[in-house]
Structure 1
């Protein structure tokens, strides 16, 4: 998958990702352990669905539920809007977050479908400027393994992942690019975008 990064998608990139954690070494070690434990639980649930033998549509629904349970949906949603988030009313932002969260959960539930027939193994965790990166590998019997990284933050008070990088493809940037394109197609009308996302 190729991600085309527009000028609009890059505006405010640094500010939106400014979730810097200024932690002492002991606190950082706790963050690493907590973040890895979150992804361990997430991966265990994904692997359980993969091994369940359920119908594909049922699996996708279960993957979407897992995404919603472990993702920091408000952070992902706000980042996807970029500068437009500042112009939204609190009510619009709340409704957009709900519509976007359901949309992206279904979308990445379908992405988890790629793991059917394989297994996800948690490899390592390391501190990054805006949280913790937990590195995993998707392993298959007759295919080359590929890397899936989860970026985790405790900024909301509990650990949640706010980004997934699948083989180098950054979810945050991909979703911002897509949302900005959808907004442009609707003349910048956030209400139209909310309505359309609710139907997707």
Structure 2
């Protein structure tokens, strides 16, 4: 699972260009990947496991290109409508923090992975596309990691990631649904916040 998140993180860090609204989604990912990997290769602090440094990198280069509200809505599913605006805001914030910590922890494990990009199968008029990639590492099977993006007024935004055929938001939806059935929306928020605290504690050790 760590290898899956590592590959996931590497591509997440590739979504940076200043003119994202003018950049096709596949080019957006492809153009900046080498720059991001070069940063990680040269940053000894990240390679030694400096979580704060990795989080800063993720926040700078990843967050502007993800639609975390839509990701959270999809992960929570139909129960999203039961949540108050305040609960929705806390859910988005907690889920965002969980993903950022997960990606940043994986980023510290980067060593020699490479990324292959598949041709984009999309029409110019499409507003939702899937950018297909493979993460390769010596001695291991390639891992397919696909990014689902939507075209918005602010440029292309990722709202789901498919790792080895498994949708991130769909995978979380089952867990979130069980927590809501057991403890309600507030119970899910509490569970996410506890998990974020555990990840923060692990990174600090």
Tell me the TM-score normalized by structure 2.
Answer: 0.68
Q: Deviations over 1:2-23 (max 9, x none)?
A: xxxxxxxxxxxxxxxxxxxxxx
Query: How big is each residue's C-alpha offset from its partner over 1:96-151, in whole Å with a ceiling of 9 and x where there is no partner?
Result: 11111111222244455665321223222223987111111112233232221111
Aligned equivalents of 2:173 and 2:110: distance in 1? Answer: 24
**1:50-97 deviations in Å (ceiling 9; x for gaps):** 423432343753564344333211110111111111111222212211
For the residue of structure 1 that corresponds to 2:136, the secondary structure is strand
Give ranges in structure 1 of 5+ residues lacking alignment.
2-30
Between 104-113 and 139-148, the greater mean CA deviation after superposition: 104-113
Query: Which of residues 35, 39, 43 in structure 1 aligns to 2:33?
Result: 43
Aligned CA-pair RMSD: 2.9
1:127 alignment partner, SS class: coil
Q: Which runs of 5+ in 2 are unaligned?
A: 2-20, 197-205
Q: 1:64 to 1:195 in 2, by over 3 A?
A: farther
Alignment partner of 1:138: what SS? strand
Structure 1 ranges of 4+ moved more than 4 A = 111-115
Change in Cα spacing, 1:116 to 1:167, as seen in structure 2 (3 Å) is farther
Q: How many residue pairs align between the two structures?
A: 169
TM-score (normalised: structure 1): 0.69
